[in-house]
Chain A
Amino acid sequence: MSSTETQPLLDARDVHGGYGSMNILNGVNMALYADEVGVIVGPNGAGKSTMLKAVFGLLNVNQGEILLNGQPIHNLPPNQLVQRGMGFVPQEKNVFPSLTVKENLEMGAYLKPQNVKRMLEQVYDFFPPLVEKRHQPAGELSGGQRQMVAMGRALMAEPSLLLLDEPTAGLSPLYMNEIFDRVKKINAAGVGILMVEQNAKQALAIADKGFVLAAGQNRFTDTGAALLADPDVAKSFLGG
């Protein structure tokens, strides 16, 4: 699947970082190619979401480097990262509640207003349930639909890399499968995906690459399938 001869889309090398000078990440390495789905799993407090936020420039990288298409991007502000093709979907507060679904999506393409029409069609294609809800305020939607709006908003800017922070948190199993399904579809359309997940087994099942973090460091790094098959990983991180 991965095209090893080209450079990775995202290349994080020995990343140390956290809020202020306190480090939560103590040397994380991640390489993700353009056509891959990467999943970060691990116990609570392992630094999973912290790593995602470090990639999106939301907290300080004190040591190491993060490269996007070979260009260093660590400590660039989020709006510049959006311009360089990165999209981020936070776990909470990831929609504009009083704006309609359509307006939420339009805001995603704020920097590329000429693309709105084309991208709206594409996003409605990924998330058909949003079509009939498009004139409803996003705050009135269910959790799963809201997650679709949030992912759709990020997709509107045509990112080459989409970061998802626990996209299935608090969703019913039915919605969880639907979201994972969409993630695969979006990836198939040529968007690299890096996501943090609590539902580790289901997430690793769709992952090209899995990163098991513990105490701010890589514990295991392999393909999703290999990690699922590894008895050590299963015993310590996937609940047997």
Chain B
Amino acid sequence: MNELVFFINNVVIAGSVTGSIYAIGAIGVTLIFSIMRFAHFAHADMMTFGAFMVLLLTTLFPAAGASIGVPTALVMLPLAMLLTAALAVGIDKAFYKPLRFHGVKPIVMVIGSLGVTLMLQGLIRLFSGTGGQSLYVDDRKEIFRIALPIEGVRAPIVITEPQIYLFVITLVAVVALHLFLNRSRLGKAMRAMSDNPELAQASGINTNTIVAVTWVIAGGLAAIAGTLLSLDVTFKPDLSFFLLLPIFAAAIVGGVGHPYGAIAGGFVVGFAETLAVFNWHVLLRPFRDSLPTWLELPSNLAFVSTEYKIVVPFFILVAILVWRPTGLFKGKVI
């Protein structure tokens, strides 16, 4: 039973944490693709920007959360989402809109977004420095140890406060997005434009408004993903950038342009990563006595070591592109 608890801690919880962050990041990437038809490489650094805004605001008002009993960083999150949304709209106005206006090919937009990502990285480092900083400035990260009421189980289930917030906020964000896309007039218009931009225009839908709304949502979600990631570990200016590959893998696995696919893809990639680095030795240990004597159980039985975790999403990406290029949910073929 102790082994099962170990599995829950290291796979179920860890995979859900990674999966949630990938999912929220991938929703943004997939929405931008479905409306503007290009892969937005600056998305990861928009996540970093959002987390950095939270860090700045938390440093300025470190005690704001204590009065209502939540981490200050979470109190600052809505404000950071607004700032990141404003940044996203501003970046679009300054860099992507002129390109769109000239009717460039999608690959030019992609290269443009690479330029934006370099610029954002430089700008953020200029103010944040290159080191890691905790988003818990004045408050303390709670760690909950839940002992199971089962005889013989010594190990507790370990979950941290930011992880609980992460699950709650992910759930709220996904439900809110679902309601927006399916119930609101603007959300339906967004899906319409993703389906058939010419017909959307012929119906009188203002496509510029839809583009702006897309950036607001993508920016807000990026701020959530970056902040939740930084809360779980610490804020580092390059933290989100390393998630770019898994996030794109998640969007493609789910089917590009398909928000629900992005959520599924996020969890597929997240759990695949976690399972690949999980040490299966622990789960096999109880059966050691029943194994034949010539079979010696190696002490490390992970598929890949933690340092090479990044090959997992890469492998999934290649596999999906080879065997099912439209993704699990039949997205668009890029």
**A residues engaging B (CB < 8 A)?**
56, 78-79, 82-83, 88, 90, 93-99, 103, 106-108, 110-111, 113, 153, 157
Q: Of the candidates B185, B192, B201, B204, which one forms a contact with A96 in the assembled complex, judged by CB atoms under 8 Å apart?
A: B192
Contact yes or no, A103 B202, CB < 8 A? no
Contact yes or no, B191 A98, CB < 8 A? yes
Q: Of the candidates B198, B200, B206, which one forms a contact with A107 in the assembled complex, judged by CB atoms under 8 Å apart?
A: B200
- B204 contacts which chain A residues (CB < 8 A)? 79, 82-83, 110-111, 157
Contact yes or no, A78 B189, CB < 8 A? no
Contact yes or no, A99 B191, CB < 8 A? yes
Contact yes or no, B191 A110, CB < 8 A? no
Q: What are the interface flags for B196-211 relative to A under an 8 Å C-beta threshold, 1 for contact and 0 otherwise?
A: 1011111111100000
- A88 contacts which chain B residues (CB < 8 A)? 202
Contact yes or no, A110 B196, CB < 8 A? no
Contact yes or no, B189 A107, CB < 8 A? yes
Contact yes or no, B196 A113, CB < 8 A? no
Contact yes or no, A107 B201, CB < 8 A? no
Once the chains are docked, how many angstroms separate the CA of A106 from the CA of B185? 8
Q: What are the interface flags for B234-266 relative to A under an 8 Å C-beta threshold, 1 for contact and 0 otherwise?
A: 000000000000000000000000000000000
Q: A99-B191, A107-B189 are in contact. Are A93 and B198 (CB under 8 A)?
A: yes
Contact yes or no, A99 B201, CB < 8 A? no
Contact yes or no, B195 A79, CB < 8 A? no
Q: B188 interface residue, CB < 8 Å from A? A: yes
Contact yes or no, B188 A99, CB < 8 A? yes
Q: A96-B192, A103-B188 are in contact. Are A110 and B199 (CB under 8 A)?
A: no
- A83 contacts which chain B residues (CB < 8 A)? 204
- B200 contacts which chain A residues (CB < 8 A)? 96, 107
Once the chains are docked, how many angstroms separate the CA of A153 from the CA of B204? 12
A173 nearest CB across to chain B (Å): 27
Q: A99-B188, A103-B188 are in contact. Are A110 and B203 (CB under 8 A)?
A: yes
Q: Of the candidates B188, B195, B196, which one forms a contact with A106 in the assembled complex, judged by CB atoms under 8 Å apart?
A: B188
Contact yes or no, A94 B195, CB < 8 A? no
Q: A78-B201, A79-B201, A113-B185 are in contact. Are A96 and B206 (CB under 8 A)?
A: no
Q: Which chain A residue shows the least CB distance to B258?
A: A98
Chosen A-B contacts, 9 in total, with CB atoms closer than 8 Å, are: A56-B202, A78-B202, A107-B188, A107-B189, A107-B192, A107-B203, A108-B203, A110-B203, A157-B204
Within 8 A of A (CB), among B265-297: none
- B185 contacts which chain A residues (CB < 8 A)? 106, 110, 113
Contact yes or no, A82 B192, CB < 8 A? no
Contact yes or no, B199 A94, CB < 8 A? yes
Once the chains are docked, how many angstroms separate the CA of A97 from the CA of B194? 10
Once the chains are docked, how many angstroms separate the CA of A94 from the CA of B185? 20
- A99 contacts which chain B residues (CB < 8 A)? 188, 191-192, 195
Once the chains are docked, how many angstroms separate the CA of A111 from the CA of B200? 11
Q: Which chain B residue shows the least CB distance to A81?
A: B202
Once the chains are docked, how many angstroms separate the CA of A103 from the CA of B203? 12
Q: Of the candidates B188, B194, B195, B203, which one forms a contact with A153 in the assembled complex, judged by CB atoms under 8 Å apart?
A: B203
Contact yes or no, A110 B205, CB < 8 A? yes
- A108 contacts which chain B residues (CB < 8 A)? 203
Q: Of the candidates A56, A95, A97, A107, which one forms a contact with B205 in the assembled complex, judged by CB atoms under 8 Å apart?
A: A107
Contact yes or no, A97 B202, CB < 8 A? no
Q: Which chain A residue shows the least CB distance to B193?
A: A96
Once the chains are docked, how many angstroms separate the CA of A92 from the CA of B147? 62
Once the chains are docked, how many angstroms separate the CA of A96 from the CA of B199? 8
Q: Which chain B residue shows the least CB distance to A88?
A: B202
Q: Which chain A residue shows the least CB distance to B195?
A: A96
A135 nearest CB across to chain B (Å): 12
Q: A106-B188, A110-B185 are in contact. Are A98 and B195 (CB under 8 A)?
A: yes
Q: Which chain B residue shows the least CB distance to A96?
A: B195
- B188 contacts which chain A residues (CB < 8 A)? 99, 103, 106-107
